DNA sequence: CTTTCGATGATCT
DNA sequence: GATCATCGAAAGG
């Protein structure tokens, strides 16, 4: 499934990462507006796909528009949307969203009340939305996922990515400049 | 406000 | 055996 929610998931990861800002993402009815993303593609030393397919990163190599979920630091789950083309492994990490639907479920899963901390970071977001390895490889085009057309956001800026040690200077993190729900402010 | 550090386990060398 | 696309608590200024 190449196109979804008005986005071409065979486009370069940076384009997809930019286009996803403002889209509404839900998992079983729980979710909100994507406000922060990061692009990773096969030419990028920081990307899981950089050294080619392995059991962990296999879903990054296709098909596009599917979820790539991996375990981070042995504790957290992180959600990507695959945006590969022709065997070129790539994806966009969903780093933060503005909660809009299912706030009670999010609060319960996170053990927190503060809406600003429910989905501000990839691990927090996955916990709030109930995402686990079970979602790895599932298409975003149907249940339990729902991805709907982005509201056009004009105040999107890019900056350096977070938590990586390679290719640290690439400006491949995208976010809504004045959102209160970012994992960290943009530079 | 900032920095540091422990938790915790799959993955790859 | 080392390295993490993280988080939260604790300690320090």
CATH classification of the domain holding A134:
3.10.300.10
Nearest-angstrom CA–CA distance, A1 and A4: 7
Q: Is the pLDDT of residue A2 over 90?
A: no
Is pLDDT at A152 greater than 90 in this prediction? Answer: no
- pLDDT level of residue A63 (50, 70, 90 thresholds): very high
A121 closest-nt by C1' vs CA: C6
Using alpha carbons, list the distances in angstroms from residue A120 to A68, A82, A184: 19, 21, 8
Residue A76 lies in a domain: yes
- pLDDT score of A133: 97
Residue with tokens 């528009």: A65
Q: Estimate in Å the CA A11 to C1' C2 gap, whole number.
A: 35
Q: In this predicted structure, what is the pLDDT of residue A169?
A: 93
Q: Please indicate, yes or no, if residue A56 is contained in any of the structural domains.
A: yes
DSSP H or E stretch at residue A91:
strand A90-101
Interval A102-114: pLDDT, tens: 999 999 999 999 9
A61 or A2, which is more confident: A61
Q: Is residue A117 part of a domain?
A: yes
Tokens of A179: 């959102």
Q: Which of A44, A50, A31 is nearest to A140 (CA)?
A: A31
Local confidence band at A89 (pLDDT 50, 70, 90 cut-offs): very high
Find where tokens 């959600």 sit.
Answer: A79
Residue A184 lies in a domain: no
Closest residue to B7 measured CA to C1′: A75
Query: Which pLDDT tens digit goes with each residue over A7-31?
Result: 999 999 999 999 999 999 999 999 9
* Residue A97 counted as domain residue: yes
Q: Is residue A157 part of a domain?
A: yes
Answer whether A123's CB lies under 8 Å from A96's CB. Answer: no
Q: Establish if A172 belongs to a structural domain.
A: yes
Show contacts of A152-161: CB within 8 Å, 24+ apart.
Answer: A152/A22, A153/A21, A153/A22, A156/A18, A156/A21, A156/A22, A157/A186, A158/A18, A158/A186, A159/A186, A159/A187, A160/A187, A161/A38, A161/A46
For chain A residues 114-133, those near strand C by a CB cutoff of 7 A are 117, 121-125
pLDDT tens-place string over residues A119-150: 999 999 999 999 999 999 999 999 999 999 88
Provide the domain count of chain A: 1
Percentage of chain A exceeding pLDDT 90: 93
**Residue span of the structural domain in which A127 resides:** 3-176
Nearest nt to the CA of A38 via C1' is C5
Q: What kind and span of H or E run contains A17?
A: helix A13-20
Check residue A107 and give its pLDDT: 97
Round and report the angstrom distance from CA (A77) to C1' (B8): 13
pLDDT per residue over A49-60, tens digit each?
A: 999 999 999 999
Q: How many CA atoms lie within 13 A of A22 on its CB side?
A: 18
Residue A1 has pLDDT above 90, yes or no: no
Residue A183 lies in a domain: no
Per-residue pLDDT at A68 exceeds 80: yes
3-state secondary structure of A3: strand
């Amino acid at each position: 499934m190449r196109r979804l929610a008005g986005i071409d998931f065979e486009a370069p990861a940076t384009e997809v990462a930019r286009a996803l800002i403002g889209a509404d993402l839900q998992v079983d009815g729980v979710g909100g507006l994507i406000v922060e993303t990061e692009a990773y593609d096969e030419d990028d030393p920081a990307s899981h796909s950089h050294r080619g397919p392995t059991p962990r990163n296999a879903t990054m190599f296709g098909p596009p528009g599917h979820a790539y979920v991996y375990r981070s630091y042995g504790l957290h789950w992180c959600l990507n949307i695959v945006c590969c083309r022709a065997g070129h492994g790539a994806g966009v990490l969903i780093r933060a969203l503005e909660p809009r639907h299912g706030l009670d479920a999010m609060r319960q899963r996170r053990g927190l009340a503060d809406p600003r901390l429910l989905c501000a970071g990839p691990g927090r977001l996955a916990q709030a939305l109930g995402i686990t390895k079970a979602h790895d490889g599932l298409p975003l085009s149907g249940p339990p996922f729902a991805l709907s057309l982005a509201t056009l956001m004009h105040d999107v800026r890019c900056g350096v990515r977070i938590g990586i040690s390679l290719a640290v200077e690439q400006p491949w993190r995208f976010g809504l400049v004045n959102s209160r729900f970012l994992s960290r402010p943009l530079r």
